[in-house]
Amino acid sequence: MALAAAAQELADSARAFVPIPPGSLRSSGGSDVDAVEIEDAVRLLARAEEVLECMVVFAVISGATWDVVGDGLGTARQNANKKYKEAVARFREALAQPMALKPDGTSYLRLADAAHDPEVWASRLDAWVERHHEPHEFRIAARPVSDGLARLHPQLELMRLQARRRELTHEHLVPPAEEVLPIAERELVLWKQMGEAGHEVAEQVERMQRQITELRATLPESGTENRRG
C-alpha cells in the first residue's frame, strides 16, 4: 500500500509537466524557465526515488533476497543491502510499532499512512485507477487496488518472521539487536492476537517479552532514547 500510494503521487506529479501553458514558449525558441520549475523537477526525482525505495522494501518484506534486489538494481547484493537495509529496518520497526512519541510528549505516526490504514487508502486508489484508466489499456478489476489486498494469518506472518530471523543468522555471526528487535516486537503482537483468538500461547508471549527486554538492554542508550522518541 505504501508503494501504491507513492506511485500515485509520482504519477500525479509527473502529469503536471505534460501541458504547455499558452504563451510560455517564445517564437524564437526557448522559454522563460524559473527556479521554481526546476525545483518541481527535483521534487519529482525525489518522489521517483521514494517509489524505488518502497519497491525494494516491498520486495525484501515479501521474501526477495538481496541477490534478487541487486540484480534488479544492476548492482552487487552488498551495495543494495548497504543502500536500502536501513529503509527495510525502519519499515519493519514502524510496522511493529506504528505510533511513537516526540520529545515533547506528542505522538506521531511512523508508518506510511497508506500502510497504516490500508482499507481507506485502497478505496481512494481504486477511484484513482478508475479515473486514469484508458480504454485501450488492459481490463481492470472492479476494485483494482482493494481486491488485491490480503490479510496474513498470524501463523503465516510468524513463519515469515522466523524465515527473516534465519536470514539474519546467515548474514551475521551474531545478528544485530537493532534488526532482531523489530521482528521480536512484531512476533509478540502476533502471539497476543492468537491468544485473543483462543489459542494457548501464554508461554510464547512470556518468552517473547523476555527476549524483547534482553534485546533492548543490549542497545546503546542513545538508540533506546530514539526508539522511545
User: Does residue 79 surpass a pLDDT of 50?
Assistant: yes
- CB 145, CB 129: distance < 8 Å: yes
pTM: 0.65
Q: How far is CA 135 from the centre of its chain?
A: 31
Question: 183 φ, ψ to 5°?
Answer: -65, -45
pLDDT of the residue at 228: 43
Helix (H) or strand (E) holding 223: helix 221-228
Task: Dump pLDDT digits (tens) for 107-158.
Answer: 888 889 998 888 889 999 999 999 988 888 777 778 889 888 776 678 778 8
Residue 210 pLDDT: 94
pLDDT mean over 192-217: 90
Residues 38/42/43/49 CA torsion (nearest 10 deg) = 160
In this structure, are residues 37 and 19 in contact, taking their beta carbons and an 8 Å threshold? Answer: no
Mean pLDDT of 51-73: 94
Confidence at residue 77, expressed as pLDDT on a 0 to 100 scale = 95
pLDDT score for 151: 66
Over the chain, what is the mean pLDDT? 86
pLDDT at 54: 97
Q: Do 56 and 84 touch, CB atoms closer than 8 A?
A: yes
